[in-house]
Amino acid sequence: MNETSFVPSFPFSQLTIDLARSVFEESAEQDIHMARVLVLVSKTVKQWVDPILYRVIDVRADEEALWALRRGMRLRREPAFFRQAVKVVHYVALPYLQKRMKQLLTLIAACPNITTLLIPDDRCWHTISPYTDDERPTYTVTLELPNLTHYAVPLTGLPALFPAYPDRLTHLRIFCEYDPTGRHLRPKTRYVKALKKLTSLTHLALNIMLDKATLPNLQQTLDVLTLPPKIEVVVVELLTKNAAMRTVQNMTLHREYWENKNPPYVLSGEAVRDLLGLPVHATFEWPRRPLFPLSFYFTKENSGRTIQYHVVLEVWWPDPLLKRDLTASWNRSPPAI
């Protein structure tokens, strides 16, 4: 036998149990695909790796994933496993998955230690909780998640936290459905008034569809978003559709900037800042390439607190660099309370 082709196996049997467990857990932490392989090594290794494998539940592509999850929960002999293991749930639904929303919420109810929940599709919440108006929504779902710290939902999913108002919620991201009247951002709506009751909230992100109703009211919206008593960072993403693009174009934004493949920089930062009604001291940052999002940064004093704002005008398509910046701002550690 050629000596160079011989690769001796690693002597795991010579390691202490604690050290061997650390090796397997670290391998699973680094690669989720490897984690799925490691659970087949032995029953002991499966017990070590399973909590890592189920820490993040990500249902994005097909109905089979949700079915497999429900089946796994039924077959699990230790009923407390999912209650202790599951920390993060991402549910980005395709249209045919919306009907499974009730089933997903049943699973979430069995995992009260969830710290992060992401369900951004507005249609999911409409399938389970139709509402009549802003003041008296007809809701049938309440999430009891006392350890929730990060929550990302459409505006219609926000009442699912009522009347609990999690004490630990520090990061909230709201996806606003398109509403040309802008009524969903009025200070007297039930959704907006609820913000002030999130007493631990430090980071707030809001995705708003850019239209002729949004632009004149942006400054008022920024004031509304300062309602939580401990808010530190506010990120506002102004998203565009074709109709919104035409609206902005009609508001004197130069057509060459929007339509040419290599447009000149005909817009000044001051022009866009004035158009959006932002403070005079807002710092403007040009996009790295044409037709990429424009960013404004500024601070504002509110009730003795200095609040950092990041306003993003997404003029054409998402910029990976901008998403990186948003993620960094969103994930900034909240202060000790």
The four Cα atoms 101, 77, 53, 99 give a dihedral, to 10 degrees, of -10
| Structural domain that includes position 278 | 170-331
pLDDT band at 251; cut points 50, 70, 90: very low
175 within domain boundaries? yes
Most confident of 219-223, 242-246, 317-321: 219-223
Same domain, 185 and 42: no
Most confident of 34-48, 107-121, 122-136: 34-48
Least confident window among 57-61, 260-264, 319-323? 260-264
pLDDT in tens, 59-114: 665 566 666 666 777 667 676 777 777 776 766 555 555 556 666 777 777 777 88
232 within domain boundaries? yes
CA distance 262 to 62: 40
pLDDT band at 169; cut points 50, 70, 90: confident
314 within domain boundaries? yes
Share of the chain above pLDDT 90, in %: 0
Strands 305-313 and 233-239 come out as: parallel
pLDDT in tens, 44-68: 888 888 888 777 777 665 566 666 6
127 within domain boundaries? no
Q: What is the pLDDT of residue 195?
A: 77
Q: What is the pLDDT of residue 226?
A: 67
pLDDT band at 286; cut points 50, 70, 90: low
Same domain, 48 and 185: no
Same domain, 37 and 182: no
Least confident window among 5-14, 101-110, 178-187? 178-187
123 within domain boundaries? no
Peptide bond into 228 cis (omega under 30): no
| Coil, helix or strand at residue 159 | helix
Same domain, 301 and 174: yes
Same domain, 44 and 180: no
pLDDT in tens, 10-38: 676 777 888 888 888 888 888 878 888 88
pLDDT band at 321; cut points 50, 70, 90: very low
Same domain, 190 and 323: yes
Same domain, 181 and 41: no
Mean pLDDT for 224-251 is 62
- From the list 161, 233, 177, the residue with the least C-alpha distance to 204 is 233
For 259, the token pair is: 């339509």
CA distance 265 to 304: 38
- From the list 329, 306, 140, the residue with the least C-alpha distance to 236 is 329
Decide: 96 and 83 in contact? Cβ < 8 Å. Answer: no
Same domain, 176 and 309: yes
Decide: 102 and 134 in contact? Cβ < 8 Å. Answer: no
Give the total number of structural domains in the chain: 2
184 within domain boundaries? yes
Q: Where do we find the tokens 């960072």? A: 233
CA distance 185 to 183: 5
pLDDT band at 252; cut points 50, 70, 90: very low
CA distance 67 to 81: 18
103 within domain boundaries? no
Q: What is the pLDDT of residue 27?
A: 84
Which H or E run contains 328? helix 320-330
Phi, psi (degrees; rounded to nearest 5) at 123: -65, -25
Q: What is the pLDDT of residue 327?
A: 46
285 within domain boundaries? yes
Report the mean per-residue pLDDT for the chain.
Answer: 65
In sequence order, what E strands does the chain have?
A: 56-59, 88-91, 116-118, 150-154, 171-175, 203-209, 233-239, 283-285, 294-302, 305-313
List the 88-91 sheet strands across, edge first. 56-59, 88-91, 116-118, 150-154, 171-175, 203-209, 233-239, 305-313, 294-302, 283-285
Amino acid identity for residue 45 in this structure: V
